Amino acid sequence: MSHKQGVRYELAPDPEQAALMGRHAGLSRVVENFCLEIVRKKWAQRKAEETYGITGDDLTKVPWSAPALEKEWRAAHGERYPWFAENRLSSRVPKEACRVRAAGFSNYLKSRQGKRKGARMGFPPWRKRKHGSRFRYDADRTKPLDARTVRLPAIGDVAVREDMSWLTSRMATGQARILGATIREQAGRWWISFQIEVDRDDLNKRRQVAADAPACGIDLGLKTFAAIRNSDGTREEIHAPKLLKAAQRALKRANRKLSKSAEDSKNRAKARRRVAALHLRVADRRRDFLHKTTTRLTRTKSAIAVETLNVRGMVKNRRLARALSDAGFGEFVRQLGYKADWYGSRIWKADRFFPSSKTCGACGRINRALALADRTWVCPGCGVLHDRDDNAAGNLLAAMLADTST
């Protein structure tokens, strides 16, 4: 059975290749903004025509789709952007930039019509330099030549800092094929992310969760990242490293130096790279913690009960926003979802308003007066003393087992 998956490797380009990749990132940004400009103009023209009484096929057509946007680009770039042909940039990058914009327009329209799940999507904004440098290639236009080299159209053969044997060996046997690739710059370093379709059956079978593995309930929190209650009666606590909090002193010093440096100076560019490198280190270490934790849980638990958290709403609390963002609850639950599918585990999500913390695990009474600061509480009905997080994990486990049995 094939799975869609992403794998990321760090590139080691020489200065000339890095400059070319920067130009392609700029090209992608220009094309995305061109598409947005065309859609805005033609949509405004269409709305104006409707007020004049024009209807049907006489109205201006808005190029919402990727092929329509590509047609507009091909017609305009020769006159508006002559440097595109003069610099011999890859023609695949504008094609993918049009697809990215078309996907954004599609998500916006579906969200507006109520056909898309999740939060309401806004109209795609202008893409700016501060949003980061990235561009895409479609299909297998870019692919590994060997375990340490990747070929990028219009850029050349670029060295890779990491071993790609996992990918190249599966491509050689037909177990994997590349669907697309994204090249991205962060803190002066370049990465390539391959979107692949891969047959993981042999790998998943070797790492399959044991048949007699316990089920568990997981309560997520800031004081204790994850309080776990297992069906065999054992308990476990996982404490997050709180990496952003640990980096605050260095970030404050780096940001202070950045704010004091002169505009457009070399010192300012150096200070900006320092701030970006600190944020990148925090993000990488958080990603490492989440991957290791979710992999261990999905390979050792037959079923996992988790909360459905409204993270977007929770971060609106300015006192907790930084700590919540540092924890990465949303990414944790997302990773549990696809890894459980890989390793034969199962994820059960409680209803968003399920009172896991306020429900007494002994008698089932709900303590409406429980405050966020109460780490332990005594049930007014049966008098049992509860640890807030452990009790919540037990209630999630019990709810999952009851739901499964029915």
Closest by CA position to 181, among listed 11, 12, 38, 372: 11
Could you tell me if 135 and 24 are in contact, meaning their C-beta atoms sit under 8 angstroms apart?
Answer: yes
> Are β-strands 303-306 and 347-349 bridged in parallel, bridged antiparallel, or unpaired?
parallel
Strand order in the sheet with 149-152: 133-138, 176-186, 189-199, 2-12, 156-160, 149-152, 143-146
DSSP state of 124: P
Length of the chain: 406
In angstroms, what CA-CA distances link 257 with 8, 17, 229, 243, 250?
A: 32, 30, 47, 21, 11
- Residues 234 and 43: their CA atoms lie apart, in Å, by 60
Burial of 301 (0-12, 13-18, 19+ CB in 10 A): buried
Across the strands, what pairs with 359?
Answer: 366
Q: How far is CA 176 from the centre of its chain?
A: 22
Could you tell me if 171 and 177 are in contact, meaning their C-beta atoms sit under 8 angstroms apart?
Answer: yes
Residues contacting 14, CB < 8 A, separation 6+: none
**Residue whose structure tokens are 């590139």:** 11
> Are β-strands 303-306 and 215-220 bridged in parallel, bridged antiparallel, or unpaired?
parallel
- Residues 303 and 286: their CA atoms lie apart, in Å, by 24
For the annotated catalytic residues, the residue numbers are: 219, 307, 389
Could you tell me if 274 and 250 are in contact, meaning their C-beta atoms sit under 8 angstroms apart?
Answer: no
Strands (E), 283-340: 303-306
